[in-house]
């Protein structure tokens, strides 16, 4: 039985995980030197004549000039959206709306490689994620909502659903095209028109999407895309012609938007930050749980609102879990987002890198123990080594604040009650994860966790049919699923639900 005797208690780990480079070619993407604003189906110059440069976070190289939209441009875009709503789109047959959504979905699939490369180039996320997650999901959202467009009366029986009008949509930089899909697909399915602003660091896939709209022959003005920074977003929110605002981003800006809209009667949905608990019970399949922990916090460099940034491990399996986790971290490949072998790409911007570094510093100062695997980072660009903090107290900033980077804070618990209490001890409530073999425990935990989404024995799993959204400071309103249509509809005889 020499075979058995030689069995080791740990799997052998190669000393070196270096892979030969496997870069995805960027030839498929052709960029213009400069982009205008997409208003009424045409490219127009910003009234101010002001442009800014968008770069690639992997090497800080400039990619293109992008317009800074101001008040006049917002006014023009809202006007175009209003015209399109009144003169056709709002009255178009539902099957007609579905036709365009199906077209957009198919074109996104056809051009998915081009979009995936551009997404990774402009935002820094690994190509395997933009290729296998962002793009398929973006297309799936259009397919899914295309299917609802002509079934709204069945979806909301006896409630006479009607479109609201012009939706102002402001999205962040962590899932640029996917967040666009989450916002545009339900808005159009419900019969609204749109003015959308991508984030200032990642405008390029939204601009390429304008090309898809033209290819799909979507009527002019139904979707208008304005680039610019927070000032542009604030103008969209304030404009008296936007009937509904959908925002995804920081809690701070979400609060400002809610204050601005109070008393206006505009509908509002907010999808804000998070500090999700990922809870590992001692009966969990540990190797799978470790994969779930890694996917929960290092997916997309941790730039994920529902990231599992607080890990709660049951005390009896603490040492074992941390050992396995550290070992797994040494195998993560950090580097060029366009390399197909990369697990963790570039941090989206220098600003975000500073924020992560500052919070990590605070963790060390407050007394947590830091672990970072050995890792050679590229010389140019924005990078952060995947990080684990142990010995974390609940009061530490790294256990309270959203870091939005590849940084995990580990805490422990003894009983399910303690796990619930600690997990809910946060101003946020977007998502949570539970790892256990017991179905009854999953259900009991899901009942008690104050989070919009609770994943069981998995993490960061998305599907267009499933509603997503938060409690408390993570915002309100749901995106995805049937629930995701409701914020874009008004119903006979109902008073406004939000914002009024
Ligand atoms: P942010 O909230 O400032 O930006 C998100 C979007 O809102 C961007 O399109 C931005 O141009 C726009 N915006 C900024 N100020 C605005 C205003 N006054 N009115 C209307 N729109 C405005 O987020 P930022 O500064 O990029 O990141 C800061 C932190 O926010 C991150 O470190 C992270 O913790 C959190 N965040 C959360 C996101 C989520 O998915 N929930 C996404 C992005 C950031
Ligand atoms: Mg900001």
Q: Which of 230, 251, 273, 349 to mutate to test the pocket of ligand 1 (most atoms within 8 A of CB)?
A: 230
Ligand 1 atom closest to the Cα of residue 274 is 41
- Do 322 and 369 share a structural domain? yes
Q: Whose CA is nearest to atom 12 of ligand 1?
A: 230
Q: Which of 250, 210, 249, 248 is nearest to 226 (CA)?
A: 210
Q: Which of 253, 261, 307, 349 to mutate to test the pocket of ligand 1 (most atoms within 8 A of CB)?
A: 253
In a domain, 473, yes or no: no
Contact 84, 221 (CB under 8 A): yes
Name all residues whose Cβ lies below 6 A of ligand 1: 170-172, 174, 197, 199-200, 229-230, 233-234, 237, 248-250, 253, 256-257, 271-273, 305, 352, 355, 402, 404
Q: Evaluate the CA torsion angle 360, 365, 370, 375 in order and state its sign.
A: positive
Residue where a domain terminates, one of 207, 227, 248: 248
CATH number at residue 362: 3.40.309.10
Contact residues for 443 (Cβ-Cβ < 8 A; gap 6+): none
- Do 304 and 238 share a structural domain? no
> Which residues are registered as beta bridge partners of 479?
468
DSSP H or E run through 66 = strand 62-67
Q: Which DSSP string do the residues of 96-115 spell out, in sequence order? A: HHHHHHHHHHHHHHHTHHHH
C-alpha Rg value of the chain to the nearest Å = 23
Q: What helix, strand, coil percent values describe the chain, rounded to 5?
A: 40, 20, 40
Ligand 1 atom closest to the Cα of residue 252 is 2
Q: What is the pTM of this model?
A: 0.95
Contact 100, 218 (CB under 8 A): yes
Residue 433 has which token pair?
Answer: 């994860």
- Do 109 and 178 share a structural domain? yes
Q: Whose CA is nearest to atom 40 of ligand 1?
A: 305
In the reported structure, the alpha carbon of residue 229 is separated from the centroid of ligand 2 by a whole-number distance in angstroms of 9
In the reported structure, the alpha carbon of residue 262 is separated from the centroid of ligand 1 by a whole-number distance in angstroms of 20
Rounded Cα–Cα distance for residues 430 and 414 (Å): 24
Residues of the chain with pLDDT under 70: 1-9, 14-17, 494-500
Rounded Cα–Cα distance for residues 306 and 474 (Å): 9
Residue where a domain terminates, one of 230, 248, 266: 248
In a domain, 475, yes or no: no
In a domain, 10, yes or no: no
Q: Whose CA is nearest to atom 9 of ligand 1?
A: 199
Ligand 1 atom closest to the Cα of residue 430 is 41
Q: Whose CA is nearest to atom 21 of ligand 1?
A: 233
In a domain, 266, yes or no: no
Ligand nearest to the CA of 230: 1
Cβ atoms within 10 Å, residue 4: 6
In a domain, 256, yes or no: no
Q: Which domain holds residue 174?
A: 34-248
Rounded Cα–Cα distance for residues 411 and 430 (Å): 19
Residue positions annotated with a catalytic role: 271, 305
pLDDT of residue 307: 98
Rounded Cα–Cα distance for residues 144 and 483 (Å): 13
Ligand nearest to the CA of 428: 1
Q: Whose CA is nearest to atom 22 of ligand 1?
A: 230
Degrees, nearest 5: CA angle 191-195-200: 145
Phi-psi region of 447 (alpha: psi -120 to 50; beta: other; left: phi over 0): alpha
Ligand nearest to the CA of 172: 1
Contact 259, 237 (CB under 8 A): no
- Do 239 and 105 share a structural domain? yes
| Span 294-311, pLDDT tens digits | 999 999 999 999 999 999
Q: Which of 250, 257, 302 to mutate to test the pocket of ligand 1 (most atoms within 8 A of CB)?
A: 250
How many angstroms separate the Cα of 462 from the Cα of each of 182, 195, 455, 469, 473?
11, 25, 10, 12, 21
Phi, psi of 114 (to 5 degrees): -60, -45
- Do 123 and 52 share a structural domain? yes
- Do 281 and 177 share a structural domain? no
- Do 181 and 110 share a structural domain? yes
DSSP H or E run through 197 = strand 193-197
In a domain, 154, yes or no: yes
Buried b (16+ CB within 10 A) or exposed e, 314-326: beebbeebbebbe
CATH number at residue 53: 3.40.605.10
Q: Whose CA is nearest to atom 42 of ligand 1?
A: 249
- Do 321 and 200 share a structural domain? no
Alpha-helical segments (H) within 202-349 = 204-215, 230-238, 251-261, 286-298, 318-329
- Do 213 and 87 share a structural domain? yes
In a domain, 261, yes or no: no
pLDDT of residue 495: 57
Ligand nearest to the CA of 200: 1
Contact 434, 454 (CB under 8 A): yes
In a domain, 130, yes or no: yes
User: DSSP secondary-structure letter at 338?
Assistant: T
In the reported structure, the alpha carbon of residue 74 is separated from the centroid of ligand 2 by a whole-number distance in angstroms of 19
Residues written for the chain: 500
Number of domains in the chain: 2
In the reported structure, the alpha carbon of residue 413 is separated from the centroid of ligand 2 by a whole-number distance in angstroms of 34
In the reported structure, the alpha carbon of residue 173 is separated from the centroid of ligand 2 by a whole-number distance in angstroms of 11
- Do 285 and 144 share a structural domain? no
Rounded Cα–Cα distance for residues 244 and 237 (Å): 9
Residue 302 has which token pair?
Answer: 């941790």
- Do 286 and 236 share a structural domain? no
C-alpha neighbours within 13 Å on the C-beta side of residue 312? 26
- Do 234 and 165 share a structural domain? yes
In the reported structure, the alpha carbon of residue 249 is separated from the centroid of ligand 1 by a whole-number distance in angstroms of 4
Contact 363, 388 (CB under 8 A): no
Q: Whose CA is nearest to atom 13 of ligand 1?
A: 230
Give the 3-state secondary structure of residue 149. Answer: helix
Residue where a domain terminates, one of 209, 230, 248: 248
């Amino acid at each position: 039985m020499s075979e058995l005797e030689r069995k080791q208690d740990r799997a052998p780990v190669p000393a070196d995980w270096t892979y030969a480079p496997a870069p995805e070619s960027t030839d498929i993407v052709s960029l213009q030197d400069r982009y205008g604003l997409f208003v009424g189906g045409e490219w127009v110059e910003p009234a101010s004549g002001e442009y800014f440069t968008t770069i690639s976070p992997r090497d800080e190289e400039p990619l293109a000039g992008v317009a800074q939209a101001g008040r006049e441009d917002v006014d023009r875009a809202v006007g175009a959206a209003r015209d399109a709503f009144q003169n056709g789109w709002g009255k178009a047959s539902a099957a007609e709306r579905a036709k365009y959504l199906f077209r957009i979905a198919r074109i996104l699939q056809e051009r998915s490689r081009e979009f995936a490369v551009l997404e990774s180039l402009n935002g820094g996320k690994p190509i395997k994620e933009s290729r296998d997650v962002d793009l398929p999901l973006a297309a799936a959202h259009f397919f899914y909502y295309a299917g609802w467009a002509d079934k709204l009366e069945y979806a909301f029986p006896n409630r006479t659903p009607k479109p609201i009008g012009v939706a102002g949509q402001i999205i962040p930089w962590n899932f640029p095209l996917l967040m666009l899909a989450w916002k545009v697909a339900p808005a159009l399915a419900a019969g609204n028109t749109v003015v959308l602003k991508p984030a200032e660091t990642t405008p390029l896939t939204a601009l390429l999407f304008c090309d898809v709209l033209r290819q799909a022959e979507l009527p002019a003005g139904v979707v208008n895309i304005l680039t610019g920074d927070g000032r542009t977003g604030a103008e969209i929110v304030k404009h008296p012609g936007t009937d509904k605002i959908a925002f995804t981003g920081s809690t701070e800006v979400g609060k400002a938007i809610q204050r601005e809209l109070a008393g206006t009667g505009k509908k509002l949905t907010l999808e804000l930050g998070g500090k999700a608990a990922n809870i590992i019970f001692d009966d969990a399949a540990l190797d799978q749980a470790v994969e779930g922990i890694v996917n929960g916090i290092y997916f997309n460099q941790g730039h994920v609102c529902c990231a599992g940034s607080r890990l709660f491990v049951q005390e009896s399996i603490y040492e074992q879990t941390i050992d396995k986790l550290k070992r797994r971290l040494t195998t993560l490949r950090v580097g060029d987002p366009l390399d197909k072998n990369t697990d963790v790409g570039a941090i989206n911007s220098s600003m975000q890198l500073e924020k992560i570094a500052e919070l990590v510093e605070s963790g060390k100062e407050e007394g947590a123990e830091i672990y970072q695997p050995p890792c050679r980072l590229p010389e140019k660009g924005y990078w952060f080594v995947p990080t684990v903090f142990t010995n974390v107290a609940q009061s530490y900033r790294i256990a309270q604040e959203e870091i939005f980077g590849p940084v995990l804070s580990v805490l422990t618990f003894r009983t399910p009650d303690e796990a619930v209490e600690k997990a809910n001890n946060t101003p946020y409530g977007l998502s949570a994860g539970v790892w256990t073999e017991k179905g009854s425990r999953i259900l009991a935990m899901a009942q008690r966790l104050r989070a919009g989404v609770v994943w069981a024995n998995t993490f960061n799993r998305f599907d267009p049919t499933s509603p997503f959204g938060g409690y408390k400071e993570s915002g309100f309103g749901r995106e995805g699923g049937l629930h995701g249509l409701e914020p874009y509809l008004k119903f006979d005889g109902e008073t406004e639900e939000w914002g009024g």
